């Protein structure tokens, strides 16, 4: 976004991306947080630090039989689906572009966005930040979440109506939010996100950092070799795909 213009497509220039390589650590981060949230790990850990004692243990759903809701079945969402197959969880998803056939191949049930928030024990956001997705997730969605449910955002903060989310998190201390991204980023100095006891902030670390960037570089070197050899590009980006990508 912001680099590829219509002139690229008009001149038939091939575009490729290292998004698949960058997706790897995002999927790893997401999976770790989904499983930890299903154990109510953050809630227990933060309560112990705050109370300086072991509080009463809350009911822990764990992974077995729980429902994970994924918003978007793009590159990252699909890989999260594949990883979740290793665990005894039910996966539901909202993606207006996914077909029933694609969902069936992933072992996922497609549902409306409202239903996803109502049913999921953990909701993980993977949608791209587009004009159409700004403030897609509203306070009403958070208000409808199950008791002790969690919300994970590794996508973009602008997709969430953060003011509305904050209001519901203040009203419902049973909910947990794990936010690797915010809008603005970082949050303003007096943002309640810094102090809410049911919010965990990480500084946009889910994607490739430091040594992880070498994977992206390796992919691009391999792509160049494929291009020079006249072979199909693994990360090829089409104009249609670029229009609905972050």
What is the residue-averaged pLDDT of the chain?
95
Residues of the chain with pLDDT under 50: none
In whole angstroms, what is the distance from residue 154 CA to residue 17 CA?
A: 19
**What integer pLDDT is reported at residue 145 of this predicted model?**
99
**What integer pLDDT is reported at residue 246 of this predicted model?**
65
What is the chain's length?
246
Q: Which domains does the chain have, with CATH numbers?
A: 6-18+209-243 (no CATH), 27-201 (3.40.50.720)
**Percentage above 90 pLDDT, the chain:** 88
State how far Cα 218 lies from the chain centre.
Answer: 24
What is the SS3 assignment for 240? helix
**What integer pLDDT is reported at residue 4 of this predicted model?**
86
Identify any residues that bridge with 110 across adjacent strands, giving them in sequence order: 93
**What integer pLDDT is reported at residue 1 of this predicted model?**
62
**What integer pLDDT is reported at residue 6 of this predicted model?**
87
Residue 131 near residue 108 (C-beta atoms within 8 A): no
Q: Which residues does the annotation mark as catalytic?
A: 156, 185, 204
Report pTM: 0.94
């Amino acid at each position: 976004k912001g680099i590829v213009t219509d002139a690229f497509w008009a001149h038939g220039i091939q575009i490729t991306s290292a998004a698949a390589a960058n997706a790897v650590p995002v999927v790893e981060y997401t999976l770790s947080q989904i499983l930890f949230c299903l154990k109510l790990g953050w809630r227990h850990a933060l309560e112990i630090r705050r109370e300086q004692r072991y509080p009463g243990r809350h009911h822990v759903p764990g992974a077995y039989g729980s429902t994970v809701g994924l918003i978007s079945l793009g590159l990252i969402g699909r890989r999260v689906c594949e990883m979740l197959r290793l665990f005894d969880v039910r996966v539901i998803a909202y993606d207006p572009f996914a077909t029933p056939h694609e969902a069936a191949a992933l072992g996922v049930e497609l549902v409306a966005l409202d239903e996803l928030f109502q049913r999921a024990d953990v909701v993980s956001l993977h949608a791209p930040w587009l004009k159409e997705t700004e403030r897609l997730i509203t306070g009403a969605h958070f208000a409808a979440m199950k008791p002790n449910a969690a919300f994970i955002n590794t996508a973009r903060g602008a997709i969430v109506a953060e003011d509305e989310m904050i209001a519901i998190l203040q009203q419902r201390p049973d909910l947990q939010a794990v936010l690797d991204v915010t809008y603005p980023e970082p949050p303003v100095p007096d943002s309640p996100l810094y102090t809410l006891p049911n919010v965990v902030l990480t500084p946009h670390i889910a994607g490739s950092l430091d040594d992880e960037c070498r994977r992206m570089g390796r992919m691009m070197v391999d792509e160049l070799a494929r291009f020079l050899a006249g072979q199909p590009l693994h990360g090829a980006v089409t104009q249609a795909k670029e229009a609905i990508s972050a």
